[in-house]
Structure 1
Amino acid sequence: MSSRLIYGCMTIGGSWDDAPHDAATVDRARAAVHAALDAGITDFDHADIYAHGKSEAVFGELLAEDPALAGRVRLQTKCGVRLPGNTAAPGAPAHYRLDRGTIRAGLEGSLRRLRVDSVERFMLHRPDPLADPHEVADALDELRREGLIRSVGLSNMSTRQVALYQQLLTTPVTALQLELSLRHRGFVEQQILANHPEGAEHSFPEGILEYCAADGIEVQAWGALARGLYTGAPIPPEDQHAAATAETVHRIAAAHAVSGEAVVLAWLMRHPGGIRPVLGTTDPRRIAACAEAEALAPRLGHEDWYALLTAARGNPVP
């Protein structure tokens, strides 16, 4: 059985500029991808903007050098974010664009860089306020009819936006990607602060996890490790909540003889919403450490889970 974890390929392409990637970048990517596979991870997450397209290009090189690799991985990629000098002209503002031409060009570019004929899932990276949802749905359905995608994913969208695309698309919507972590825990705050004055302070889309669970849409968590804030990254001296959370993470990790990364990810995976964390590290040792979350999640008790929540929020639940 494949892991619930997803490997995020944002950093495997090296620098975020138009300089060509080198052999060392490919070597690091190869080590990371095989570490993920050794951990049982088979889903790999891309986007056209990652490292100016180099993340997809590097992955494409790995597929070309090892044809058997294609049968071991499932790919998803995203379009819609337009960055100056990357997916947009150098003088353009950063913006989002989801017209028919941009959607098709985004996918075709990704397929070319990845050196594949299709992807498992094609995701809309960010909502574009100027996009016509009917045009977006028609464009995606057309790509599926052509056999270029098998399903659609959405990213950073609200409950109503997900519902709208479900209504308009004939292609199944199979995933929603949101920033979820101990640091970005609005999905929990929204649940526990219902009918509470503090609830107004949290902007997380109301009911989105429940909606996805009811409709069989998997929830993917980007930023799941909170950039290592609780597992070794420098903590700002004034951030007492982060320091207390890191201490709690390490205490629970020691009690279970696992890594801190496993605790942080298991906290997400213990939630009944079926959350699938996306990993962004290229360090093979850290990838292996993250994989320990799979076994820890069902063993993480209520008291440990709430201890982590309490440390992260800085005060007990109401």
Structure 2
Amino acid sequence: MSAILPTDLHCPRIQMSPAGPELSRIVAGMWRMTEWGMSVDQRIDFIEQCIDLGVTTFDHADIYGSYGVEGQFGEALGRKPSLRDQMQLVSKCGIKLVAPQRPQHSIQHYDTSASHIIGSVEESLRQLRTDRLDLLLIHRPDPLMDFDEVADAFSSLRKAGKVLHFGVSNFSRHQFEALNRRIALATNQVEFSPLHTAPMFDETFDGLQDLGIAPMAWSPLGGGRLFNGGDAISENLRRVIKGIADELQQPFASVVFAWIMQLPCRPVPLTGTGRIEAISVAVAATRFTLSRSDWFSILRAARGHEVA
């Protein structure tokens, strides 16, 4: 049975940390925007439809679309500047890609030096056609990362009004806490889905819950494997989720998003789609919770064994 989504969907908001930003409960991930084939007007329409749903937070990185996504999004903001004050902009830096847009890069590598962080922010602001980022994340942990240098760069950007809040992405619990001791962080954006449950068991989520900080979850649908994965675990997981979705008369993906958001550390899932219907399905997940038995049925199918 296909679920009929309510017409009055509106995404709630969430305080990411005690002194952190307030973001929408579902975040619109922009990393595939250059693949969507949208005109500037279509991008404006898409952004406006997201905002109408209450999805007001848009996730970027300098490298997305081979350094092209922020510019495409910025074209839309440049055409309609009034949209900027209705949204929160998140971006990331710290990876240098080998790309035609960066001919000076001879090898893909990490760079979390203060000069690169500050330069990346200034370029993101230029591309996005805005004067500030609401949240800046270090994209990946860097073996050459100096925590004190990163904290100093963050402090400089905050003092200049160019970035309001800071966080990280793909950091371990220890890496997060080491930087958080030097400057308050608002989130750790990590991969999480029923097909990638490691953050539940490697102390990442436990540590964030202890600090009252909400993680962000990228690839919540397993990069599409929940829909089309042919391996035994994906197929069994799909059957279990579909059975719960049919019983609840909710869309399949809504059940997955609800499962993620039910964790007490309050994960904030990112979408990765240019289809407003798919974003509506994610928002619908904010309106219901799973029974404990249904929640653990999904976990059992994800892990392939009972909890004890």
Say yes or no: TM over 0.5. yes
Q: 1:153 aligns with which of 167, 179, 182?
A: 167
C-alpha separation between the residues in 1 aligned to 2:262 and 2:128? 33
2:205 counterpart of 1:209: yes
Flag as ranges the 4+ runs of structure 1 deviating above 6 A. none
Q: 1:73 aligns with which of 84, 87, 90?
A: 87
SS of equivalent residue, structure 2 residue 215: strand
2:20 counterpart of 1:6: no
- 1:33-62 per-position Cα deviation (integer Å, ceiling 9, x unaligned): 233223211111100000123211111122
Decide whether the 8 Å contact of 2:97 with 2:105 is kept in 1.
no
Decide whether the 8 Å contact of 2:186 with 2:214 is kept in 1.
yes
Structure 1 residue runs of 5 or longer lacking an equivalent are 16-21, 191-205
Decide whether the 8 Å contact of 1:14 with 1:25 is kept in 2.
no
- 1:227-284 per-position Cα deviation (integer Å, ceiling 9, x unaligned): 2222x3x222xx1111111111111111122111101111111111111001111112
C-alpha separation between the residues in 1 aligned to 2:268 and 2:101? 28
Q: Please state how far the C-alpha of 1:31 moved relative to its aligned partner.
A: 4.2
Q: 1:136 to 1:88 in 2, by over 3 A?
A: farther
Q: Which residue of 1 aligns with 2:280?
A: 288
Q: Which residue of 1 aligns with 2:133?
A: 119
For residues 238-277 of structure 1, the aligned pairs below 5 Å read 239-277=231-269
Q: For this pair of structures, how many residues does the alignment match?
A: 287
Q: 1:87 to 1:278 in 2, by over 3 A?
A: farther
Higher relative contact order (CA 8 A, sep 6+): 2
Q: Which amino acid aligns with 1:168?
A: R
Q: 1:181 aligns with which of 179, 193, 201?
A: 193
Structure 2 residue runs of 5 or longer lacking an equivalent are 1-11, 14-23
Q: Which amino acid aligns with 1:8?
A: G
SS of equivalent residue, structure 2 residue 148: helix
C-alpha separation between the residues in 1 aligned to 2:174 and 2:193? 22
2:150 counterpart of 1:136: yes
SS of equivalent residue, structure 1 residue 168: coil
Q: Percent identity?
A: 31
RMSD of equivalent CA atoms: 1.8
Q: Which residue of 2 aligns with 1:92?
A: 106
Q: Please state how far the C-alpha of 1:183 moved relative to its aligned partner.
A: 0.5
Q: Which amino acid aligns with 1:313?
A: R
C-alpha separation between the residues in 2 aligned to 1:8 and 1:25? 18
Q: 1:272 to 1:86 in 2, by over 3 A?
A: farther
- 1:136-175 per-position Cα deviation (integer Å, ceiling 9, x unaligned): 1111111111110111111111111111112222xx3111
Decide whether the 8 Å contact of 1:14 with 1:54 is kept in 2.
no
Instruction: Report the TM-score when normalising by structure 2.
Output: 0.88
Q: Which amino acid aligns with 2:189?
A: Q
2:216 counterpart of 1:220: yes
Q: Which residue of 2 aligns with 1:196?
A: none
Q: Please state how far the C-alpha of 1:90 moved relative to its aligned partner.
A: 6.7
Decide whether the 8 Å contact of 1:98 with 1:131 is kept in 2.
yes
Q: 1:153 to 1:91 in 2, by over 3 A?
A: closer
Q: Which residue of 1 aligns with 2:229?
A: 235
C-alpha separation between the residues in 2 aligned to 1:216 and 1:308? 26
Q: Please state how far the C-alpha of 1:185 moved relative to its aligned partner.
A: 0.7
C-alpha separation between the residues in 2 aligned to 1:84 and 1:227? 24
C-alpha separation between the residues in 2 aligned to 1:263 and 1:294? 10
C-alpha separation between the residues in 2 aligned to 1:145 and 1:276? 27
Decide whether the 8 Å contact of 1:174 with 1:216 is kept in 2.
no
C-alpha separation between the residues in 1 aligned to 2:259 and 2:165? 28
C-alpha separation between the residues in 2 aligned to 1:7 and 1:147? 24
Q: Which residue of 2 aligns with 1:42?
A: 56
Decide whether the 8 Å contact of 2:44 with 2:80 is kept in 1.
no
